Each structure stands twice: as C-alpha cells, then as structure tokens.
Amino acid sequence: MPANRFNNFTDYGIGIGLRSTHYNHILTRKPVVDWFEIISENFMVDGGRPLHILDRILEQYRVVQHGVSMYFGSAERPNREHLRRLKDLVKRTKTPWVSDHLCWGSVDGRYTHDLLPMPYTFEAAKLTAQKVREVRDTLEVPVAVENVSSYAEFHVSEMSEWEFLNEVVERADCGILLDVNNIYVSSQNHSFDPLTYVNSVPTERVAQIHIAGHSKYRKYILDTHDHPVIDPVWRLYSRAIERVGHTATLLEWDDSIPSFKQVHDEALKANKFLSSAALARAV
Amino acid sequence: MSLLSLQRRMARAVMTPLTPGERMRRLAPDGRPMRRVAAEFIKPNDRLTSFERLEIYNRQYWFRLVSGFAEDFPGVRAVLGDRRFDSLSKAYLKACPSRSFTLRNLGSRLESWLRTHPRWAGARQKLVVDMARLEWADIEAFDAKAEPVLKPEDLAGVDPGCLRLSLQPYIQLLDLRYPVDDLLLAVREDVPEDSQDASNAFNERRKRTRVAAVARLKPAPIFLAVHRVEYSVYFRRLEPEEFAILRRLRQGKSLNRATDGSFRGSKVPLDRRTEKLAQWFHNWAALGWFCRPQKRIAKS
C-alpha cells in the first residue's frame, strides 16, 4: 500500500528530519535524499533566515510537515493564530500531508511544550477527533496523528492505547503516523506486547512511519531521539512494513546529532526491510 | 474525571517548580501531599509509583523550559552569573508560563517582568533589563518579516511634505543605559556553539573573562538599531538624532514631522545638520531599511 488518501496518494521513500546542524552540508553538497521532514513550528515565522533556508531546501527537495504543538488532545479549541500560521506554511511547502501528535500539552492557554499522554476515554477520543477534523478542514490537506511515547497511564482510561488510536482515527477519518520506536518505548514503560499494538493498527490508514533511538534508564525508557535505532525497534518496523507495505519512513534524530552521513546511513537501513516486504508481496 | 479537569490537574503538577535537588516537590501548590495528588489520577506500575511517573513529566517540563530560556538569554546569564540566572529563570517561568505554541516566545515578557520584579536582577537591575531588551530584540529581528525595499522610482512625483517612510518590520530600535551590545558580542565570542567538549579549566577561564567584562561595564547611554543583513542580525549604534528620526518614522509620522525637532538640544553644529541628515538617509536606504509603501503614496 505505497500510497493512500492519508498521504495524498504519494509514494515517498526514506526521509530524514531537517535539522539546522545539517543545513550547510545539505545546501552545499546537495546529497540525494528522498524527502525531508520539517518541524512546522520552526518555520511558522514571518521571515528571516528560517524561511530563507526553507525556500532553498524546497528548490531541491520534497518536504513534509510534522508539528509538535497542535495538541489534538487538549480540551481547548485549536489556537487560531497557530492554525493561520500553519496554513501559510502548508501553502509554502506544498506538503502532501501534515502530521502531529496524539497527545495534549496545553490547558487554559498555557503551554507545557511537552507531548503529554491522553487518558484513553471515549470522551477524549470524541473531542480529539473533532479537533483533528477542524484542523484538517482548515488546512485542506490530509492529517496524520502520531502515537507518542508515554511514561504514565491514567485510572480513568477505558481502553488500551491502540484501541484509543483506532477510535480517534475512525471518528476523525484521518491517517496515522505510526512511530514504532514510540510503541516500543511505551510497551517497555507499561508492560504490553508491542507486536499486539502493531498488529492492531488499521493498515489502510498508515500515512507514514517514524523510527528513532531512545535512552534506557533503570526503571523506564525515555524517547530521546539521540541514538541509533535498536534491533527490537527494527523488528517492529519490519512487522509494520510487512502489514502496511512500502510506506514513507522517516528517521528522527534530534539530540547529540551526528554527521549528516551517519544520520542518513542509519535511515537507509530501512531499505532492507522495505525490499524484503516488497519481495514477499511479489511472491 | 472530565478531560479538562484531568488536564488542569496534571498541568498544575507538571508546572510546579522542582526542589533545589531537581526532584518533584512533596507538596502540591494547594498544600496536599503530591503523592496523594498523583495517585488520584495516575496509575502506578511494577517499577514506579504514581508520584515517580508524574515526576518524569515535571522534570522534563522544567529542564526543557530552563534550557530553552538559557539559550535565548546568554547575555543576561553572563551579567547575573549562573546561580542567580538559574533562580531568575525559574521565578520568571513560574510567573510567566508559556502562552504560545512556540518556545521562541518564551522570553517575550522578560523585560516587563524584570521591571516589576527587580529583586531577581539584584544590584544591577538596569543593566539586566537592558541586556534582556537587547536579547529579545535580537530574537525579534532574526525572523521578523522583511517587506520589499523602497526604490527611488517608488518616490517619483511624491510630495516630500506628505511622504511617510515605513521602516522594515525586522528593525528594532533600542535606547539603552549601558553599552550591552559590546558585552553581548563578547559573551557570544566566548561561548562557541558546541561547548560540550570544552574542558573545565577552559570554562572557568571563560567565566572569569565574562565576570571581568561585566564588572568593567559602566553606564553609558547608547542608541541602537538591531537589524538584518543577508539574514544575519547586526547591532548598529545610532546617534541620538538618528534614533529620534527613526523612532518617529516607526510611529508613522511624515518625513517632515520626523525630522522636525530631531536636533533639539543636539550637539551637532547647525551648519552640519543638513549634511548629517543626507548621510543618515543615504545609509538607511543603502541598508534597505525603508519599505516600499503598501498603499499608493499621495502624489503632488
């Protein structure tokens, strides 16, 4: 299933996150990269260097927007200024789809700038889905929601995380940005089988996949995006690709960022799994 | 518990300042034990209590905001020293939590907060306020809008008496009590972008250099334009009369009204004023500081 309505019927391969430490390398060496993912908020400004760099990148590369503060799960209405700026950026980048997290992070107009976990309730699913629809209708591009890593669970939850994800995407009729590293991190923190999660995802809605590294502490795992992808996460990725088919895949590396080549090489390891899946389907 | 009520409860806990040892406080803001507050809405697991799970988010919140704030205000940090700056950051972030979807705006209220809470800046409050103003202006100038630059042909046939020149939105005009521009440049030269590999001895030497530079700084009023050239931000010292004209232009005054009275009390000799004006306007135009008018200029 290489293309679907949630990634605007595109057929993107392996991309990496656009990070400022790599700007110079990218703009001078012009490496071959299928696509870059940008953090929308970094470019939702009026001018200056950020937009200048973005325009130069757009001259040569395909860009997909990924947000970190829409907070689909926050009980308050979407911030109009945020939406206006996001829409301006969508027009600039011509991103085929927009993604953000299935989480909350603001309340009463105060922002935590964190991806806080949702209580898995029907009330929360209904409200979140409404917000996803409102954002999609405003932006006029498909929206994909990403599962987050979490470190806490709530007494009020009425279902599992994957059931909640399914409830939201069905109600919103939106796509999924499946982060297999986040599934792994949460499975370790909350003691569930990550394969059960991957096997429960509605494959026809997966617009994109994220892979990343994390940091292990004594009693929990933190989603730090500062290491290579570990084998158990590659295995989850392999299973996801086996179910979903060739899907736009992006490596996130946000801290202790190594050279461009190292990041790109790590991302390209996904090719092995994409090829195997393609072969298996052909047979 | 409704979604809103759960989110309010968790946000209140997450945004509660940490202990000096950077752990979650034992008491919630309402005086109840945080252990009980956490247990009311967060499940424990086989490794972590509800308190410990909530603490992960509490610590992440403060680590993220404090480090973001420090990145934006290295000059204020240099003036105050690390310990005082740390206390100031936490007090500011507690009083002025982010109200924006972007961390870029975290320091937008620092200047006004410092004016009403002078004790956090210590004995050199005015210097700290000046530095905070400069660093915020730097952030604003970096990514503010640039309008198309005014060209000579845009002025063809325009009555100079009615002419209103608009300044580029990215230009920030500052009147400061201290020459903090020099200090900030010194601080930036002192702190390489990637200082993780620097040795402790090297860091100590840098710190001493900064402390000495701050100690030497005496009040000396300056006028400054924080502006951009080729997407980089620069500080340009202005003469008082230049500053007065630019400020009036920014206020939307006509060219005549902006220049009228700008030399009041000036030390510039009368016979040199026309020449000065011509030189300033030439420089500002060369730097692209004037925007092409959005509305049609009144023609004579």
Tell me if A179 sits within 8 A of A208, measured CB to CB: no
Cβ contacts below 8 Å, chain A against chain B, sum to 128
B59, B151: one domain: no
Whether the pLDDT of residue B295 is over 90: the answer is no
Whether the pLDDT of residue B199 is over 60: the answer is no
B41, B161: one domain: no
Mean pLDDT calculated for residue range B232-243: 97
**Chain B neighbors of A19, CB-CB under 8 A:** none
B158, B244: one domain: yes
ipTM, interface predicted TM-score of the complex:
0.95
Taking the C-alpha atoms of residue A18 and residue A28, their distance in angstroms, rounded to an integer, is 15
In order, the DSSP letters of B118-155 are: GGGGGGGHHHHHHHHHHHHHHHHHHHS--PPBP-GGGG
B173, B259: one domain: yes
Mean pLDDT calculated for residue range B184-192: 83
Q: State pLDDT tens for residues B75-128.
A: 999 999 999 999 999 999 999 999 999 999 999 999 999 999 999 998 899 999
B169, B262: one domain: yes
Categorize the per-residue pLDDT at B160 as very low, low, confident or very high, splitting at 50, 70 and 90. Answer: confident
Q: What is the pLDDT of residue B153?
A: 86
> Which residues of chain A fall below pLDDT 50?
none
Tell me if A142 sits within 8 A of A5, measured CB to CB: yes
A221-222 and A215-216 as β-strands: parallel, antiparallel, unpaired?
A: antiparallel
Length of chain A: 283
Tell me if A71 sits within 8 A of A103, measured CB to CB: yes
Give a yes or no: residue B281 inside a domain. Answer: yes
**Chain B neighbors of A152, CB-CB under 8 A:** 42-43, 50, 53-54, 56-57
Taking the C-alpha atoms of residue A270 and residue B7, their distance in angstroms, rounded to an integer, is 37
Look at A111 and B45 and tell me if their CB atoms are within 8 Å.
no
Structural domains of chain A sorted by starting position, each given as residue range(s) with its CATH number in brackets:
5-282 (3.20.20.150)
- Domain boundary among the residues B17, B52, B69 is at B69
Q: Report CA torsion sign: B235, B109, A131, A247.
A: positive
Q: What is the pLDDT of residue B299?
A: 46
Among the partner residues A109, A113, A152, nearest to B65 by beta-carbon distance:
A113
Whether the pLDDT of residue B298 is over 50: the answer is no
Among the partner residues A70, A109, A124, nearest to B99 by beta-carbon distance:
A109
Categorize the per-residue pLDDT at B253 as very low, low, confident or very high, splitting at 50, 70 and 90. Answer: very high
Give a yes or no: residue B240 inside a domain. Answer: yes
Look at A113 and B103 and tell me if their CB atoms are within 8 Å.
yes
Dihedral over alpha carbons B156, B159, B161, B164 (to 10 degrees): -50
Among the partner residues B7, B11, B43, nearest to A155 by beta-carbon distance:
B43
Q: State pLDDT tens for residues A151-188.
A: 999 999 999 999 999 999 999 999 999 999 999 999 99
Give a yes or no: residue B284 inside a domain. Answer: yes
**Angle at alpha carbon of residue B294, lines to B291 and B300, rounded to 5°:** 95
- Domain boundary among the residues B50, B69, B88 is at B69
Nearest chain A residue to B50, by CA = A152
- How many structural domains comprise chain B? 2
Give a yes or no: residue B257 inside a domain. Answer: yes
**Chain A neighbors of B7, CB-CB under 8 A:** 74-75, 104, 107, 116
Between A49-53, A125-129, B161-165, B252-256, the lowest mean confidence (pLDDT) is in: B161-165
Alpha helices in chain A (DSSP H): 23-29, 49-60, 80-93, 122-139, 161-172, 180-190, 194-200, 231-244, 260-268, 270-282
Give a yes or no: residue B189 inside a domain. Answer: no
- Domain boundary among the residues B69, B84, B102 is at B69
The pair phi, psi for residue B63, each rounded to 5°, is -60, -45
Q: What is the pLDDT of residue B297?
A: 46
Mean pLDDT calculated for residue range B179-198: 76
B170, B274: one domain: yes
Give a yes or no: residue B213 inside a domain. Answer: no
Nearest in space to B168 (alpha carbons), one of B198, B146, B139: B146
Look up residue A271 and give its amino acid.
Answer: N
**Chain A neighbors of B48, CB-CB under 8 A:** 219-220
Strands (E), chain B: 166-167, 172-176, 222-229, 232-238, 290-291
B163, B261: one domain: yes
**Cα–Cα distances in Å, from A246 out to A7, A12, A149?**
12, 9, 24
Q: Return the higher-pLDDT residue of B31 and B158.
A: B31
B165, B284: one domain: yes
Distance to chain A for B100, nearest Cα, Å: 7
Whether the pLDDT of residue B152 is over 90: the answer is no
Categorize the per-residue pLDDT at B211 as very low, low, confident or very high, splitting at 50, 70 and 90. Answer: low
Domain that holds residue B257: 146-179+219-300
Mean pLDDT of chain B: 91
Integer Rg of chain B from CA: 25
User: Per 3-state DSSP, what percentage of chain A is helix, strand, and coil (rounded to 5)?
Assistant: 45, 20, 35
Q: What is the pLDDT of residue B203?
A: 62
Q: What is the pLDDT of residue B149?
A: 96
Distance to chain A for B207, nearest Cα, Å: 24
Lookup result for tokens 């057929």: A11
pTM of the predicted protein model:
0.93
Structure tokens given for A220? 């929990």
Lookup result for tokens 């961390």: B103
**Chain A neighbors of B99, CB-CB under 8 A:** 109-111
Whether the pLDDT of residue B282 is over 70: the answer is yes
Residue B98 DSSP one-character state: -
Look at A154 and B43 and tell me if their CB atoms are within 8 Å.
yes
Give a yes or no: residue B4 inside a domain. Answer: yes
Q: What is the pLDDT of residue A276?
A: 82
Give a yes or no: residue B186 inside a domain. Answer: no
Lookup result for tokens 């100031």: B88
Lookup result for tokens 């016979």: B271
Whether the pLDDT of residue B206 is over 80: the answer is no
Structure tokens given for B68? 């973001």
